[in-house]
Amino acid sequence: MCGIVGYVGPGSSLEVLLGGLKRLEYRGYDSAGVAVLSPEGAIGSRKRAGKLGVLVDDLSASPIADGGTGIGHTRWATHGGPTDGNAHPHFGDDGRLALIHNGIIENFAELKAELLEAGEQFESETDTEVAALLVGRAFRETGDLTEAMRRTVERLDGAFTLLALHQDAPGVVVGARRSSPLVIGLGEGENFLGSDVAAFVEHTRRAMEIGQDQIVTIRPDSVEVIDFAGNPAEASEFEVAWDASAAEKGGWPSFMKKEIDEEPDAVANTLLGRVHDGATALTELDAVADILTDIDRVLVLGCGTAAYAGLVGKYAIEAWARIPVDVELSHEFRYRDPVLNERTLVVSVSQSGETMDTLMAVRYAREQGARTLSICNTQGATIPRESDAVLYTHAGPEVAVASTKAFVAQVTALYLLGLHLASLRGTLDAEGVAAQLAELEAVPGKIRTVVDSASARIAELAHWMSDTQSVLFLGRHVGYPVALEGALKLKELAYIHAEGFAAGELKHGPIALIEPGQIVFVVVPSPRDPSSLHKKVVSNIQEIRARGARVIAIAELGDVAVVPYADEVIRIPLAAPLFEPLLAVVPLHVFGMELATAKGLDVDQPRNLAKSVTVE
Ligand code: M6R
């Protein structure tokens, strides 16, 4: 939540800042602002409520002088509504210092009272302004922006990334982080700071991650990192695995449409290099290899779509590796005194790697002695950095706020983990593992078929249903998390009531919701599955049809049993039952996007949301 960019160098800082904010806008989009130093060293600032475009228009109508040192911010409001006054930057030292912030300063009320007592005046309702005033006061005492930041962060509770510039420190931007994201971009004679690498990848792919409780000072020709105690600290360099074009819309009407189209590649790239001669090749797991045969439990943590990916993983890992798997929402896990120990492998799933609930849950698990594996899509993010091992998904940058391609990549990574565990623990023989991996490697082509064959029909259905008030989703076994994911996409994109249910739960209550005309998507298990689930779900379809539901079935090619009972059948290619989620979810992603589009909504930036939930 909130995107942050900082720049020092010979270029136009406004160009860098606005380009970076455009790429970070998915992190928050209720207001935006910049502060730059003019060639003469005076602060110029502009901030506006609304999306970034409002600020951009304002700056082109009335430009500010720009001397190559600047900070920029796009906001998701926590303290104080989305107004011009609450937008960042905020100011200290009588307007000589500008500061931007991502996170929450939990002790801001006490600090505010103290600052008021000392005669400071507040212009906003934000928690951020206390930090701006404190850094400003410390700068007056020390004349050193890094030291002023250090003295300030010592006094702050909560989670924060702060960036500041001062007009008496031209060519310097100082950043600090605690439990909120901040990465460094290394240029030639210029340097960058950003909430993630998207902020600067257009200018450089050389990046550095900095640790928890650290402060970074960038100048055009230097980068210095210290800890909050003032000791020098190491920052590790990495190369960003994708280039700026990967985060461009590139002619697509929305990022979401582009990202759904990239779902086959997200799976293929997550598998790339990790399957050799019919076996898993996961050297990334070496750091936890010593316990993989000894663990007695896997606990998967995540929020939203990531948690649903975890739920698919549970079915697969238990089936193949014969080890109990629990899946829990990170925020529920953290606060309920859970039981875990050094024989528990905690697997966190997070696209951003910055979700505060998941980060806190991972920290808690480590404190309890559990070993941690991060499944993450973002290089340099905090959760992988703080985990024992990381299995990166290679979905490429996901810009649309609602997750699509990240889901299929997360599920793929969990399948790889399940097959790896099965092989290590001897619950599947080499042939069994090879057979599953061969099936998995065929999935990207099948997803492509679904995207190409089903999208047009789903779009028609969505347009017919654009005034619908409620949609239900039913699934069973691995189809259940797919139903949950379909419902979440519809809620967050189209703002209509949507619920996902386990089909077996229907008669325990939810069937009371069925009335004539109720639209119900049903994810139908394969009739080839030796269990009797297909028959049971077809019976469920008959039960809801008898009560007037309009049924849209997602069923595999050749499944004729559903045809008499469904109003519409969306076909998916044949796949092993455990891999069906990777295919069945695609029409549901398309449906959420198309229904939102039919309602004239912004599918990339749904209301009230931000992509990376970096506050609890
Ligand atoms: O970055 P993460 O994967 O940790 O994010 C988790 C959830 O916040 C995220 O999946 C959210 O539910 C999306 N809005 C789903 O589309």
Asked if residue 194 and residue 264 are part of one domain, the reply reads no
Task: List pLDDT tens digits, range 11-42.
Answer: 789 999 999 999 888 887 889 999 999 999 89
Mean pLDDT of 104-126: 94
Asked if residue 323 and residue 203 are part of one domain, the reply reads no
Asked if residue 140 and residue 61 are part of one domain, the reply reads yes
What does the alpha-carbon distance between residue 87 and residue 333 come to, in Å, rounded to a whole number?
A: 34
Supply the pLDDT for residue 245: 83
Question: 350: Cβ below 6 Å to ligand 1?
Answer: yes
Sign of the CA dihedral with 592 first, then 594, 600, and 605 last: positive
Domain assignment of residue 614, yes or no: no
Question: 614: Cβ below 6 Å to ligand 1?
Answer: no
Using alpha carbons, list the distances in angstroms from residue 24 to 17, 372, 421, 603: 10, 28, 37, 16
- Whichever domain contains 120, its CATH number is 3.60.20.10
Angle made by CA atoms 585, 589, 592, in degrees to the nearest 5: 135
Domain assignment of residue 612, yes or no: no
Using alpha carbons, list the distances in angstroms from residue 524 to 146, 501, 536, 560: 59, 13, 10, 12
Supply the pLDDT for residue 426: 96
Domain boundary among 418, 441, 464: 441
Using alpha carbons, list the distances in angstroms from residue 193 to 291, 374, 495, 510, 513: 37, 24, 35, 49, 51
| 443 pLDDT above the threshold of 90 | yes
Q: How much is the mean pLDDT over the chain?
A: 94
Mean pLDDT of 190-202: 95
Supply the pLDDT for residue 190: 97
What does the alpha-carbon distance between residue 135 and residue 151 come to, in Å, rounded to a whole number?
A: 8
Asked if residue 500 and residue 422 are part of one domain, the reply reads no
| 615 pLDDT above the threshold of 80 | no
User: Pick from 409, 433, 437: which is nearest to 581 by CA?
Assistant: 409
Kindly report the pTM of this predicted structure. 0.88
Sheet holding 344-350, edge to edge: 325-329, 297-302, 344-350, 371-376, 389-392
Give, using CA atoms, the residue closest to atom 11 of ligand 1. 304
For 154, other C-beta atoms within 10 Å of its C-beta total 13
At 543, is the pLDDT very low, low, confident or very high (cuts 50, 70, 90)? Answer: very high
Task: List pLDDT tens digits, range 225-263.
Answer: 999 999 999 888 999 988 888 888 888 999 999 999 999
Question: 393: Cβ below 6 Å to ligand 1?
Answer: no
Asked if residue 220 and residue 126 are part of one domain, the reply reads yes
Asked if residue 424 and residue 460 are part of one domain, the reply reads no
At 380, is the pLDDT very low, low, confident or very high (cuts 50, 70, 90)? Answer: confident
Q: What is the DSSP letter of 80?
A: S
Question: 395: Cβ below 6 Å to ligand 1?
Answer: no
Measured between alpha carbons, how far apart are the two ends of the chain, in Å? 11
Give, using CA atoms, the residue closest to atom 10 of ligand 1. 305
Asked if residue 161 and residue 107 are part of one domain, the reply reads yes
Per the structure, the count of domains in the chain is 3
Supply the pLDDT for residue 246: 83
Characterize 561-578 residue by residue with b for buried, 16 or more Cβ atoms within 10 angstroms of its Cβ, and e for exposed.
bbeebbeebbbbbebbbb
The residue annotated as part of the active site, out of 2, 258, 314, 489, is 2
Supply the pLDDT for residue 11: 79
Supply the pLDDT for residue 264: 97
Higher pLDDT, 342 or 325: 325
Question: 305: Cβ below 6 Å to ligand 1?
Answer: yes
Domain assignment of residue 616, yes or no: no
Higher pLDDT, 337 or 479: 479
Domain assignment of residue 58, yes or no: yes
Q: Give catalytic status of residue 611 as yes or no.
A: yes
% of the chain with per-residue pLDDT over 70: 100
Mean pLDDT of 280-299: 93
What does the alpha-carbon distance between residue 139 and residue 132 come to, in Å, rounded to a whole number?
A: 11
Domain boundary among 246, 271, 303: 246
The β-bridge relationship of strands 43-49 and 31-37 is: antiparallel
Mean pLDDT of 500-526: 95
- Find out whether 132 and 97 touch, Cβ atoms under 8 Å: yes
Residue whose CB lies within 8 A of the most ligand 1 atoms, among 351, 491, 588, for a mutation test: 351
Residue 95, φ and ψ in degrees, nearest 5: 85, 5
Angle made by CA atoms 195, 201, 202, in degrees to the nearest 5: 130
What's the 250 CA to ligand 1 centre distance in angstroms? 24
Question: 351: Cβ below 6 Å to ligand 1?
Answer: yes
- Find out whether 289 and 283 touch, Cβ atoms under 8 Å: no
According to DSSP, the residues that pair with 74 across neighbouring strands are 3, 32
Helix (H) / strand (E) containing 523:
strand 519-523
Asked if residue 264 and residue 206 are part of one domain, the reply reads no
For 321, other C-beta atoms within 10 Å of its C-beta total 24
For 327, other C-beta atoms within 10 Å of its C-beta total 22
Supply the pLDDT for residue 531: 83
What's the 304 CA to ligand 1 centre distance in angstroms? 5
| 1 pLDDT above the threshold of 80 | no
For 137, other C-beta atoms within 10 Å of its C-beta total 19
Supply the pLDDT for residue 25: 85
Scan for tokens 């941690």, then name that residue. Answer: 372
According to DSSP, the residues that pair with 474 across neighbouring strands are 501, 522
Supply the pLDDT for residue 248: 83
For residue 378, which atom of ligand 1 is closest to its CA? 1
What's the 269 CA to ligand 1 centre distance in angstroms? 20
Domain boundary among 441, 465, 498: 441
Residue 275, φ and ψ in degrees, nearest 5: -130, 120
Asked if residue 192 and residue 82 are part of one domain, the reply reads yes
Question: 13: Cβ below 6 Å to ligand 1?
Answer: no
Question: 214: Cβ below 6 Å to ligand 1?
Answer: no
Range of the domain at 195: 3-246
- Whichever domain contains 430, its CATH number is 3.40.50.10490
| 175 pLDDT above the threshold of 80 | yes
Query: SS3 for 584?
Result: helix
Domain assignment of residue 615, yes or no: no
Asked if residue 281 and residue 398 are part of one domain, the reply reads yes
- Find out whether 609 and 27 touch, Cβ atoms under 8 Å: no
| 309 pLDDT above the threshold of 90 | yes
For residue 383, which atom of ligand 1 is closest to its CA? 4
Supply the pLDDT for residue 611: 80
Domain assignment of residue 613, yes or no: no
Give, using CA atoms, the residue closest to atom 7 of ligand 1. 304
For 343-389, the DSSP string reads: TEEEEEEESSS--HHHHHHHHHHHHTT-EEEEEESSTT-HHHHTSSE
Asked if residue 576 and residue 433 are part of one domain, the reply reads no
At 179, is the pLDDT very low, low, confident or very high (cuts 50, 70, 90)? Answer: confident
Asked if residue 144 and residue 224 are part of one domain, the reply reads yes
At 396, is the pLDDT very low, low, confident or very high (cuts 50, 70, 90)? Answer: very high
Task: List pLDDT tens digits, range 466-494.
Answer: 999 999 999 999 999 999 999 999 999 99
